[in-house]
Amino acid sequence: MNSSRSMVRRLARLRAVPAPAVDAAIAVVFVAVVAVDRTQEPVDGGAAMVALSVVLTLMIAGGLVVRRSFPLAGFVAGTVGLSVEALAGISSAVSPYANLIGIYSLGLYATRRRALLGPPLAVIGTAIYFAGNSDTAAFEGIGVLFSWIATWAVGYSNARRREEQERARRAARQQAIAEEQIRVARELHDVVGHTVNLLIVQAGAARLLLDTDPAKARELLAGMEQTGRDSLADLDQALGNLRPASHPAPGLAQIPGLVDRLTDARVRVVLSLDPALRLPRTLDLSAYRIVQEGLTNVLKHAAPCAATVDVHRDGDAVVVEIADDGPGLPDQHVPGRGLLGIAERVSLCGGVLEQGRGPGRGFTLRAVLPLP
């Protein structure tokens, strides 16, 4: 267990090393190995050839250093250095491996258009290299070329797979953002729409009673103040600005308070709520919002009237029903954002929404939400 943990820590430390430092280390190792190789097989041709060998080795090493940031330039530099070594007869046994790293990096790190230059450059470089090594059999050159192109293909396919994964991540991120925007818009509509309509009705009632019944008008104004405070807290929760521990999301427990706020708004509401009913958090919030929007529609389109709110469990589902005895909706009525928002909530919960005229008159909204 301890050995596996230490190995994980070592791998984590290795991944934390900056990529340029890794590439520079690879280049240093390459130069060191070439230096050892040259001591075993010295370069013929005097000081000029030794100097040329050093320059070409540094050129190939430079290609390794920039293989991520400038993969095409790095591969071209390595190919030119390797080709000149072969033509000058001072080839190192290590240089082709550096060029192999270069062509893999070209396929992996270059843009799609530049990466496609890898195979033709490999053909040209291989032809020049084996032209300088005329004693090499032709089939060996074909095998080397195949290895180079196969290595490039591995890098190229990995790069395209990364692009697909990144596109999928971006699409998922955009979808999540869009869904969150819709959710926040729905929450804001429910909170703001309900509050504004309730305040308008209460303000109108207070204005009418201001001269004839000042005490009742003051009571209405106090109710408006409390409604505003409650709605601000609800709005903060919808925006996610308050801690859930101090201001929990509204649910079934807040429905009685929601109903009480309508008592002075020309709507007489009879509430039937199973006190033993407990719902998951998301379903609890959805039930509250459905009742809130349903009562808002009653306030806007049916007041003054009487209404009933019934929330109960029916088998493996919870039923939320809001009904009123008002005039009902006209035949040509087009559902607004409120009813569309309720339909979206019910759909997200996998439920069924029924809406239309009541048994006698008025309007009935019935949502059946399956329990998980």
Tens digits of per-residue pLDDT, 287-313?
A: 998 998 888 888 877 777 888 899 999
Over the stretch 252-276, which tens digit does the pLDDT of each residue have? Answer: 888 888 888 776 667 788 899 988 8
Q: For the residues 270-284, what does the mean pLDDT come to?
A: 87
Residue 222: the pLDDT is: 77
Residue 199: the pLDDT is: 75
Cβ atoms of residues 177 and 166 within 8 Å: no
Distance CA 78, CA 299 (A): 78
Q: The dihedral of CA 131, 136, 142, 148: what is its sign?
A: negative
| Cis? peptide before 372, omega within 30° of 0 | no
- Which tokens sit at 41? 């097989």
Q: Would the pLDDT of 245 be above 50?
A: no
**Residue 271: phi, psi to the nearest 5?**
-105, 135
Q: For the residues 12-34, what does the mean pLDDT come to?
A: 84
Distance CA 342, CA 193 (A): 13
Q: Please tell me what DSSP assigns to residue 356.
A: E
Distance CA 269, CA 291 (A): 12
Distance CA 10, CA 115 (A): 33
Q: For the residues 110-134, what does the mean pLDDT come to?
A: 87
pLDDT band at 232 (very low <50, low <70, confident <90, very high): low
% of the chain residues with pLDDT over 70: 84
CA atoms within 13 A on the CB side of 100: 13
Residue 195: the pLDDT is: 72
Specify the long-range contacts of residues 336-344, CB closer than 8 Å, at least 24 apart: 337/189, 337/193, 338/189, 338/190, 338/193, 338/293, 338/296, 338/297, 339/293, 339/297, 341/186, 341/189, 341/190, 341/289, 341/293, 342/289, 342/290, 342/293, 342/294, 342/367, 344/182, 344/186
Amino acid identity of residue 20, one-letter, is: P
Cβ atoms of residues 56 and 84 within 8 Å: yes
Q: For the residues 326-342, what does the mean pLDDT come to?
A: 72
Residue 12: the pLDDT is: 66
Site of tokens 């389109």: 301
Over the stretch 344-357, which tens digit does the pLDDT of each residue have? Answer: 888 888 889 988 87
Helix or strand or coil: residue 277? coil
Over the stretch 186-214, which tens digit does the pLDDT of each residue have? Answer: 777 776 776 777 777 777 777 887 778 88
Residue 243: the pLDDT is: 43
Distance CA 188, CA 193 (A): 8
Q: Would the pLDDT of 244 be above 60?
A: no
